Chains A and B, each alone.
Chain A
């Protein structure tokens, strides 16, 4: 083959250019020459010119002016020009270019050319860059070629048909009969093409899939022939006869056997044979085994075969070749949901792969390890994962931390372990955790009340060592603020006691406040914690006062606001400070609840909002059930009040629940705090029997909430004890009953019982109430029920 000298000379010239600039110069000159040549009429060197242009194109330079030349060369009668022309078409033209339509006619003509090599050029180009229109035009031609007698053409036509089916799905029907008949060919190339074509047809059309299920016996026959055949030099690769064909047949069997008992049965024996007889010392054998395993796990195979497949994967995991380990883990990931126990057996090896050098292997091992965590192995798995976290590549850290948190939350054997684990993660990789971690951890800590002492000691120590991890510092500050008294007490059963003085604690908090590493949110946490400590420590309150007043002129607006408010708390409302800064109650975390109270509750533990500062100053009364807090936060969170009013709320003695409820009402109404819970409102008697009278009065609080007061009196001669009221309302209405003022009714109306019920009616439905009364009189229990269909003061419809 005579070398195209001009081309090689040009390549040499370009390569010898020493700088990018020089190279550009050479190329520009050459391109100009090529363009000039293109404009001239036919000369002998056309193919060389186009080849030169293609080389330049590969280097990255623009070559679009060669597109028309490609079209011209394809139409040329000379084979050498056609060859380069088609090559140029595949490189420079794609279906998005307009010029590609121009070659449709040339391709059509060449498909019927007498010379098979010209035909093959056309087929190849069509399969590489044929657009949907071209495919539609030429599909019948391809179908004709599929039935020709020339194997060389048949195999190319088969893959061309594959491309057509990919581009235009409907044309699949056209090729079904031809594809079916191609399966009986002996030529491996044609057979391979036929299998690929059938795979495409079956993947796209479930109807076709059903029809091709009948070919499973034929495919099994072909496979058996390949496995037991003797050595064939043409197709042999390291002892395996035509592995490419074997793998494709296995893949087709997988698609055909999926969801079909009969088809799966027909291939069981074959798969077992392949799995046991294939030599797995070289990559090629492992490729076939891999495909076999994927097929076995995907079809409805019998359990023995499945076990065999998982064992093969287990063997792969121990293979010294990293590639094999990698794909073993990928496959195990796919089946860890369905064959969990089988995969668990290989847990040790998988965990070892966490320490592999290769980042891809590490990633797979991490995903698989997280999927294998269960209640029985949680401790050891998390230990391994934490070890991994300390040396893990940065791109995997976020995935690892969130995986560990989820696993810990699901299977934590004890609260202490859970807290320890989260703290460990925060110290190792605090920068890569998600934002919800801080409130989640705080929630966890508050709920583990027996561990408060332990937790605060641990966090204090962590704070002393390192203040760069923001999430950890935030949690530490919060805990020190809340449980500072436990820290100062010094003794703790779970860890060694350490003497911490008040100055030490304040030093630590001040370091956080002043450090440039602390974010604005963290400093907010630290300031609030310092403030809270003013009620938990005894000596250094002045120091706290000075810290707080310094930050009153801080540049950061958030900090400044907090400091000013805390200052006010010191100066004007010092008598309330203890109540305001009391310990937080147990937080009820409701994941599904969307009510206003829940939302505001969770913002308690989040930073970055001045509302937090406001809400923290409204401590819910300690012994109250959670519902009380709900009301409190709900009512106050919604209203935007100036600073003065909330301290006013704190003057309420938070001793009796009903008075608190009543005061809330007054607060919203903007009235001065009065202890009297019953405000003048229209009331109606709803129940009267045996001397027991129940009256009901309502007051509309806001657009959808209503306060109902129930008053019970006993006009009879005998005392009543254990008096309880229960209420039910329509479904969409929310109900909250406060505790009653007393639970006994002395005779002859000596005292009366009041109970406040809060109703929230967002859908404005017709308000009805059913009340059950139960009490004990003279040793016998009594129960009655009354239905109230319209509440007084609201009009007949029950809402205004």
Chain B
């Protein structure tokens, strides 16, 4: 099970945070601080895996954004890398050549896409087309209902 998914920039600014375990605000802030410090301190050609407390941390850098997720002991780290990649592909498909600004100005859409891909810390839908399709349909529903 994934415990959290964080997106932050090279300067350490948070762009997206998704938590799958109940934590207090203070604890969340601590985790964010620790993750940003640890991940940003990593030199370029090192492995994408870290150990932090009792979680495995998997992170990957895409352009100016770091995608950082915390896994449990039994989870497959290589698959987590694939999962991050799949999410980036979904964002790319939706926004069309996604960049950090898209995620900043349309953060709620990024969350909606994430909610169609992951749920409760597990992967919900393994088909790219199905996720994209659901989000588009939901958007259409929203537009239709808009006065």
Q: Which residue numbers of A lie inside 8 Å of B, CB to CB?
A: 1-2, 8, 11, 15, 44, 51, 54-55, 58-60, 78-80, 83-84, 87, 94-96, 115, 117, 120, 123-124, 127-129, 152, 155-156, 159-160, 162-163, 166, 188-189, 192-193, 196, 233-235, 237, 242-245, 247, 251, 283-284, 286-287, 290-291, 322-327, 357-361, 363
> B105–A8 contact, CB under 8 A?
yes
> A234–B127 contact, CB under 8 A?
yes
> A188–B142 contact, CB under 8 A?
no
> A44–B78 contact, CB under 8 A?
no
B10 at the interface (CB under 8 A from A): no
| A193: chain B residues within 8 A (beta carbon) | 122, 124
Q: Which of B29, B46, B74, B81: most chain A Cβ within 10 A?
A: B46
Q: Provide a sorted-by-A list of 11 A–B residue pairs whose CB atoms are within 8 angstroms.
A: A58-B14, A58-B16, A96-B22, A128-B20, A159-B119, A234-B127, A235-B126, A247-B79, A322-B45, A327-B78, A363-B51
- Bound Cα distance A324, B77 (Å): 10
> B49–A163 contact, CB under 8 A?
no
Q: Which residue numbers of B lie inside 8 Å of A, CB to CB?
A: 1, 14-17, 19-20, 22-24, 29, 43, 45-51, 74, 76-79, 81-83, 86, 104-105, 107-108, 111-112, 115, 119-120, 122-130, 134, 137-139, 141-143, 145-147
| A235: chain B residues within 8 A (beta carbon) | 126-127
> B46–A83 contact, CB under 8 A?
no
- Candidates A1, A54, A325, A361; contact of B139 at CB < 8 Å: A1
| B115: chain A residues within 8 A (beta carbon) | 124
> B46–A322 contact, CB under 8 A?
yes
> B81–A323 contact, CB under 8 A?
yes
- Candidates A234, A287, A359; contact of B79 at CB < 8 Å: A287
- Candidates B78, B104, B147; contact of A11 at CB < 8 Å: B104
> B45–A159 contact, CB under 8 A?
no
> B142–A160 contact, CB under 8 A?
no
> B47–A322 contact, CB under 8 A?
yes
- Candidates B81, B111, B145; contact of A78 at CB < 8 Å: B145
| A192: chain B residues within 8 A (beta carbon) | 123-126
> B79–A79 contact, CB under 8 A?
no
- Bound Cα distance A324, B47 (Å): 9
| A124: chain B residues within 8 A (beta carbon) | 115, 119
> B50–A44 contact, CB under 8 A?
no
Interface of A is mostly: helix
Question: How many Å from the CB of B138 to the closest CB on chain A?
Answer: 5
> A155–B124 contact, CB under 8 A?
yes
* Also in contact, A237 and B82, with CB within 8 A (given A58-B17, A80-B142, A96-B24): yes
| A95: chain B residues within 8 A (beta carbon) | 22
- Bound Cα distance A152, B115 (Å): 13
* Also in contact, A357 and B46, with CB within 8 A (given A58-B14, A128-B119): yes
> B48–A323 contact, CB under 8 A?
yes
* Also in contact, A188 and B76, with CB within 8 A (given A358-B46, A360-B47): no
> B79–A80 contact, CB under 8 A?
no
Q: Which of A1, A15, A59: most chain B Cβ within 10 A?
A: A1
| B147: chain A residues within 8 A (beta carbon) | 44
| A363: chain B residues within 8 A (beta carbon) | 51
- Bound Cα distance A11, B107 (Å): 11
> A159–B141 contact, CB under 8 A?
no
Question: How many Å from the CB of B20 to the closest CB on chain A?
Answer: 7
* Also in contact, A290 and B76, with CB within 8 A (given A155-B124, A242-B126, A283-B82): yes
> A284–B104 contact, CB under 8 A?
no
| A234: chain B residues within 8 A (beta carbon) | 127-130
Question: How many Å from the CB of A320 to the closest CB on chain B?
Answer: 11
| A284: chain B residues within 8 A (beta carbon) | 78, 82
- Bound Cα distance A368, B52 (Å): 19
> A244–B124 contact, CB under 8 A?
no
Question: How many Å from the CB of A232 to the closest CB on chain B?
Answer: 9
Question: How many Å from the CB of B21 to the closest CB on chain A?
Answer: 9
- Bound Cα distance A569, B108 (Å): 84
Which A residue sits closest to B80, measured CB to CB?
Answer: A287
| A243: chain B residues within 8 A (beta carbon) | 79, 82
Question: How many Å from the CB of B25 to the closest CB on chain A?
Answer: 8
* Also in contact, A117 and B137, with CB within 8 A (given A124-B119, A196-B122): yes
> B79–A244 contact, CB under 8 A?
yes
- Bound Cα distance A293, B40 (Å): 32
Which B residue sits closest to A160, measured CB to CB?
Answer: B120
> B141–A286 contact, CB under 8 A?
no
Q: Which of B23, B107, B147: most chain A Cβ within 10 A?
A: B107
> A360–B23 contact, CB under 8 A?
no
> A155–B125 contact, CB under 8 A?
yes
* Also in contact, A87 and B111, with CB within 8 A (given A80-B142, A124-B119, A152-B134): yes
Which B residue sits closest to A192, measured CB to CB?
Answer: B126
| A78: chain B residues within 8 A (beta carbon) | 145
> B130–A129 contact, CB under 8 A?
no
